Amino acid sequence: MTESLLEQIKKLRAEIERHDLLYYQLANPSISDYEYDRLVKELQELEARLDEAQKQDSPSEKVGSDLRPGAQTIPHLERMYSLDNTYSAEELQSWCEKLAAELGAFPQLAVELKIDGFSINLYYEHGDLQYASTRGDGLQGEVVTPNIRALNLVPERISHLHPIEIRGEIYIPVQDFLTLNETRAANEEKNLRQSAQCRRRFHQAQRPSRGEKTPSESHFLCPGKGFKPSREPAIRTGEMAGKPGLPGFPIQRDLPVLRCSAKVL
């Protein structure tokens, strides 16, 4: 192993950690998600030549955390994971083939829209909202119940009476985001690069300033803990979204383009 390789890895890790700080803690990203993902992929390729012990503290092995110092936190009943991504048909095809090999057959796939918002975990008991928390580090999240109630985006009561965690996204629709930037430009304020920069405003939603734009819609589909297992969990997830009164998008059950015997996309 050359010193040059270690120096490259050290430099790349520092750059990724800086972007993690800007995105998760300061809500002020300086690069796009695509550019960030490319940096992580480059780091993973370099770290493939390292021993496993040398990767343990690498940002490529960690999940980004939005926990703020001193904030009230609460453990998730089920861990909240981050989604993987792909930017090419070849990578998607490879994933399909790996999935089919592991299962012994190609399964029916269910797909939902990926909303680029602020991940939220809701916990209900006896149909009543008990608390809301952020994804945090995946194991515990920051309690943001007053913020959620101030935005008035999710029901205080649902029809599901058993204890249940429900995950989803709080977000600003594209047109609202464009309007927000137009308003900021008119006020000679710097434009926001991504809707993720509204995270700070979300944290301050208990006392929103006059004219301040906060996330204005929500999308909830994924159950965490407490929803009865099913042979078709993804399908049941989509059907669940409408029943308790939570907003969600329809799920497409069958995707003929995703077949190992055919070219993806």
Question: Per-domain residue ranges for the chain?
Answer: 3-62, 65-265
What would the pLDDT profile of 49-59 be if each residue is shown by its tens digit?
887 777 777 88
To the question of domain 65-265 being in CATH 3.30.470.30, the answer is yes
What amino acid is encoded at 87 in this protein?
Y
Catalytic residue numbers read 114
Residues 6+ apart with CB under 8 A from 199: 27, 66, 118
What is the structure's pLDDT at 164? 86
Q: What's residue 129's pLDDT?
A: 93
Q: Which residues pair with residue 217 across a beta bridge?
A: 171
pLDDT score, position 44:
87
Phi-psi region of 179 (alpha: psi -120 to 50; beta: other; left: phi over 0): alpha
Angle between helices 3-20 and 33-47 (to 10 degrees): 150
Rg for the chain, CA atoms, rounded: 20
Residue-level pLDDT at 61 = 75
Mean pLDDT (10-residue bins), the chain, 265 residues: 78 91 79 87 87 76 78 91 80 85 81 76 92 91 90 84 84 82 87 66 54 58 53 46 57 47 35
Q: What is the pLDDT of residue 210?
A: 41
Nearest to residue 58, comparing CAs of 6, 1, 17, 8? 17
Give the Cα separation of 262 and 265 in Å (integer).
9
Q: Are 163 and 102 in contact (CB under 8 A)?
A: no
CATH label, 3-62, candidates 2.30.42.10, 3.40.50.720, 3.40.640.10, 1.10.287.610: 1.10.287.610
d(CA 219, CA 251): 13
